[in-house]
Structure 1
Amino acid sequence: MSSRDELVEKYAQEIREKFGETPDRDLLERVVAGLGPAVYNADASIVAASDSGEVESIKTHFLVKKLGLTDGPELDAALNQVFDQYGRSNRHKYRAVVYYLLTRHFGREAAYP
């Protein structure tokens, strides 16, 4: 099993355990591939939900640019919902899991062909 496959399995397990849903493995693999080398970097693979700069960056670079959404209060609400579900005190919110959940929330799976 390649390291990327191991990461996808780890993220899939996280989705099953923390969110109680069976992940769409194909979409999860595409999200992980889209993140490139960031998934292998300990710092870059984790989202700091308490860092307003990072949250703004996710909104601007991922939700608006990658998913093609319009900035507005619904983006903040979705981010807060994911962070609340993940657990605000959980210091290991995997970027791939957060991006996967946001992609599903907004129905933008087509952004990952």
Structure 2
Amino acid sequence: MGKRDDLIARYADDLKAKCGMTPDIALLTKVTIGCGPSIYNADASTVAASQKEELETIKNNFLVKKLGLADGPQLMDAINKVLETYGQSERNKYRAVVYYMLTKHFGKESVYG
């Protein structure tokens, strides 16, 4: 197994243990690949949930540009819901896991089809 496979396994464990979800491994793999090289960077691979700028970046670059959603308050509501599901006390919220949950939340799996 390569490094990416190890990370995908870690993300799947987070989804099961911390989020109470059974991951769709095929979708999780596609979302992880979509994150690009950021998954290998310790800082970029996680979401700074307490930083408003970080949440705006997720909204604009992922939800609006990648998933093609219309901007509106429902996007930030969804981000906050996903972060709450992940656990406010959880320090390492992996970007790929957050993006996966947002993709599922909005039913946008077809973007990765």
Query: TM-score band, normalised by the shorter chain?
Result: over 0.9
Q: Counterpart of 2:66?
A: 66
Q: How much does 1:89 deviate?
A: 2.3
Which residue number corresponds to residue 98 of structure 1? 98
Tell me how many residue pairs correspond in the alignment: 113
TM-score by length of 1: 0.97
Unmatched runs of 5 consecutive residues or more in structure 2: none
Q: In terms of mean alpha carbon deviation, does 93-102 or 70-79 score higher?
A: 70-79
Q: Which runs of 5+ in 1 are unaligned?
A: none
Query: Per-residue displacement from partner, 1:33-78 (whole Å, max 9, x unpaired)?
Result: 1111100000000000110001000000000000000111111110
- Residue pairs, 1:24-103, within 5 angstroms: 24-103=24-103
In the alignment, residue 98 of structure 2 is paired with which amino acid?
V
Helix, strand or coil at the partner of 2:21 = coil
CA distance in 1, matches of 2:73, 2:29: 29
Q: 1: distance between equivalents of 2:111 and 2:79?
A: 18
SS of the residue aligned with 1:93? coil
In 1, Cα distance between the equivalents of 2:89 and 2:66?
27
| Residue 10 (structure 1) shift | 0.4
Partner of 2:23: 23
Could you say what the CA RMSD is over the residues aligned between the two structures, in angstroms?
0.7
Q: Which runs of 4+ in 1 moved over 3 A?
A: none
Letter in 2 for 1:108: K
% identity of equivalent residues:
58
